[in-house]
Amino acid sequence: MTPLRPPRIDLRSDTFTLPTPAMREAMTSAPLGDDVFGEDPTVNELEALAAATMGKEAALFVTSGTQGNLVSLLAHCGRGDEVIAGDAAHTYIYEQGGSAALGGIHPRVLPTQPDGSLRLQDIAAAIRDENVHFPVSRLVCLENTHNRCGGTYLTPAYTASVVELAHAHGLKVHIDGARIFNAAVAQQVDVKALVGEADSITFCLSKGLSAPVGSVVCGSEEFIYRARRARKVLGGGLRQAGVLAAAGRVALTEMVDRLAEDHANARLLAEGIAGLPGVRLDMDTVQTNMVIFTLNHPTLKVGDLVTALRGQEVGVLAADPRRIRAVTHYGIERGHIEEAIAVFGRLLGA
C-alpha cells in the first residue's frame, strides 16, 4: 500500500494541526503522575484552568471530542432517557450513535436551522410530559460552532434562552463546543458568556487550538465525578497523561487569539471561490474557520473535484455528496489560501 501523505495545503480539517514548538517543549518538561489516581499535576492544572476559563466548578481531560460528548451524555442520562438534539448535530451524525449504543439513551432529533440553532418552539414541543408510554426528556444538546452548518456560531443570548427553557422543564443542557473558542473569537465575547448556565460543555484542544490530542469536559463537581466514572469504564482512564495535558495548557493560554487569522483566511477563501463556475456559497455561513459550499458543476462531481484538488496539493473533504468543506487553521497562511483559490479557479474552468 502506498503510504499516505498529507497535501501541502491541508484544508481537510483543523484536526490536522501539528503541535507548536512551545507545546513540544512543554511536553518534554511536564511534571507527571498517575492521573487515574488524580496524581498528575499537569492534568490537574489543565483541568483547573479549563474549569475557570469556562466558568464551571470542575473539568475532566478526555481523549477526544467524541469521548467528551459521550461521557457527558452518560453522566447526564440513564437508560431510556431522551436527549433532544439537532438532526445535523455531530453527536447525532458522526459519533456512531454511541450514547444509544452504549448508554441506552434515546435521541429525539429536531430540524437543525441553517445557522446551527434549534428553534425554541421545536424544543418546547419536544419536551415530553410524564406518561408511562414515553421516555424521560433529560437533556438538550447544542453545538457551537456548528460543523455541518459551516462553522456558524450561536450567540450568548440564544444559548441562554435554550438553557432557560430547558431548566424550566427540569432538563439539563450540554454544549458540544468542539470549536467554542472560534465562536468566542468571532463574536469577541468571553467564552464564559457562550457557556452561561449550560450544565456541561466539551471543547477540543486538538482542533484550531493545535494540541496533538485531547478535549476537556467542564461542569459541576458532581457532574464531573460521574463523567470521570464514565470515562474510566470506556477505557479512557489515562496514566501519565500530563505529556498531553502540557500541550493542552499551551493551547489554552497561547492559541486562542490567533483563531482570528483563521477566520480571516476562511473569509478570503470564500470570497475567492464564491463566484467560480458551479460554486454555490452562502457568505452568511462563513463566520469562523470553515467554508462549506454546494457544487453544481457541468462536468465535475464532488468526488472528482476533491481528487483533482488533492492532485494539486489542496486537501478538502466532501461534507456530503453535494457539498465540499474547507477548514483553515494554524499552519495555513494567507499565501496558501491565495494558491488554493488559484487551483480552484483552474480546475473549475474560470
**Cβ at position 58, least distance to ligand TLP in Å:** 21
Q: Rounded to the nearest whole angstrom, what is the least distance from the CB of residue 243 to ligand TLP in the complex?
A: 18
Site stretch for ligand TLP (CB under 6 A), options 61-69, 111-119, 166-174, 331-339:
61-69
Cβ proximity to ligand TLP: between 6 and 349 the closer is 6
Q: Which one of the spans 62-70, 99-107, 125-133, 270-278 is the region binding ligand TLP (CB under 6 A)?
A: 62-70
From the CB of 143, what's the least distance to ligand TLP, in Å? 5
The window from 26-34, 58-66, 278-286, 342-350 that contacts ligand TLP (CB under 6 A) reads 58-66
Q: Closer CB to ligand TLP, residue 204 or residue 281?
A: 204
Q: How far is the CB of 126 from ligand TLP (least distance, A)?
A: 21
Q: Does 15 bind ligand TLP (CB under 6 A)?
A: yes
Residues numbered 111 to 170 that lie near ligand TLP (CB under 6 A) are 143, 147
Residue 152 and residue 284: Cα distance in Å, rounded? 9
Nearest distance from C-beta of residue 322 to ligand TLP, angstroms: 17
What is the 3-state secondary structure of the chain? CCCCCCCCEECCCHHHCCCCHHHHHHHHHCCCCCHHHCCCHHHHHHHHHHHHHHCCCEEEEECCHHHHHHHHHHHHCCCCEEEEEECCCHHHHCCCCHHHHHHCCEEEEECCCCCCCCCHHHHHHHCCCCCCCCCEEEEEEEECCECCCCCECCCHHHHHHHHHHHHHCCCEEEEEECCHHHHHHHHCCCHHHHHCCCCEEEEECCCCCCCCCCEEEEECHHHHHHHHHHHHHCCCCCCCCHHHHHHHHHHHHHCCCCHHHHHHHHHHHHHHHCCCCCEECCHHHCCCCEEEEEECCCCCCHHHHHHHHHHCCEECEEEECCEEEEECCCCCCHHHHHHHHHHHHHHHCC
Q: How far apart are CA 37 and CA 31, in angstroms?
A: 15
Site for ligand TLP in 76-95 (CB under 6 A): 90, 94
Task: Tell me: does residue 13 bind ligand TLP (CB under 6 A).
Answer: yes
Tell me whether residue 200 or residue 215 sits nearer to ligand TLP (CB atom): 215
Using rule CB under 6 A, residue 46 touches ligand TLP: no
Kindly write out the interface string for residues 188-207 of this chain, putting x where it contacts ligand TLP by CB under 6 A and - elsewhere: ----------------x---
Candidates 37-45, 63-71, 107-115, 160-168; binding stretch for ligand TLP (CB under 6 A)? 63-71
10 binds ligand TLP (CB under 6 A): no
Check binding of 240 to ligand TLP (CB under 6 A).
Answer: no
Length of the chain: 350
Contacts with ligand TLP, residue ranges (CB under 6 A): 13, 15, 64-66, 90, 94, 143, 147, 176, 178, 204, 215
